[in-house]
A = this chain, B = another copy of it.
């Protein structure tokens, strides 16, 4: 079924213990869409500036399952840029520079032919903009968003309003604690699941994730990665794998969501094995399914 993602498109420079890439394709909507594309069609809405190199978006444009009909190339604007550096412990990241550029301007517009999307993912941005984008959708069946500490700290009332309109939210453990003021992640997740209509997923990086739905908590461990090259985009790929599977199944029962977070875990674990989209560009759905099977076997007892 139709899946829509709104989010950033970025020019990333990433330094990690294993190497460096400069001016690589990144951004939340790009990672999400590529991850979701293994499961079916995905509609991407995002903005770049006129500085965006001609071939820069080729990996997503060449992907038959990604509909770039929501791409705006804005005249007179510049593309979002991010430069980060991972420490020897790749769980530790320093931001060297951020140039919001076009992301600091007005948001994109969802094209008419995207507005009937049944599944909608609003990647992290200002909650006001997330609501504006959501307002352009016609009766979506399942709306899920991501957020970040910045908005929790600066836009709490708006964020609360957004939460009330969402079916689900995906956020990090530190963000879940910050949002609720709690110290226990299970209490925090259960509370957030009550603030939205249906479910909350708390991501814990290498430690896996927790799904909160119907007052119940479903934990999954991380895939045991010894080969972490570049974690950039792993969280967006988690969400993309999760939403891609949900849209493919055209179902969001508790049972489907539990399998969806397993797919999210597995797609993210593949993505971080190389820089940018390099790893996802060389794998197939069969590789994802093979790792899902292995993951299931590893946690069986």
Contacts and interface: CB of A to CB of B under 8 A. Distances in A.
B221 A206 contact: no
A296 B61 CA distance: 42
Interface stretch (A25-33, A45-53, A128-136, A180-188): A180-188
A87 to B, nearest CB: 8
The residue among A204, A216, A259, A261 with the most chain B CB atoms within 10 A of its own CB is: A204
Contacts of A190: 226
Given A258-B301, A259-B301, A224 B228 contact: no
Size range of the interface on A? 35 or more
The residue among A216, A220, A228, A296 with the most chain B CB atoms within 10 A of its own CB is: A220
A222 interface: yes
Nearest to A217: B224
A175 B219 CA distance: 24
Contacts of A217: 224, 226, 298
Contact of A208 (B90, B207, B223, B228): B207
Given A207-B208, A258-B301, A299-B299, A221 B221 contact: yes
A210 interface: yes
Protomer copies? 2
A97 interface: no
A262 interface: yes
A218 interface: yes
Interface string A166-198: 000000000000000001111100100000000
A185 B89 CA distance: 10
Contacts of A259: 301
A224 B207 contact: no
A262 B186 CA distance: 19
Contacts of A89: 183
A88 interface: yes
A222 B225 contact: no
Nearest to A257: B301
Nearest to A208: B221
A219 B298 contact: yes
The residue among A185, A299, A300 with the most chain B CB atoms within 10 A of its own CB is: A299
Contacts of A88: 183
Nearest to A90: B183
Contact of A184 (B204, B226, B262): B226
Contacts of A219: 208, 221-224, 298-299
B301 A224 contact: no
6 contacts: A184-B228, A207-B221, A208-B208, A220-B221, A221-B299, A296-B301
Given A190-B226, A208-B219, A210-B221, 4 more contacts: A204-B207, A210-B224, A217-B226, A296-B301
Q: Which 6 A-B pairs have the closest CB atoms?
A: A219-B221, A207-B207, A217-B224, A186-B226, A89-B183, A221-B221
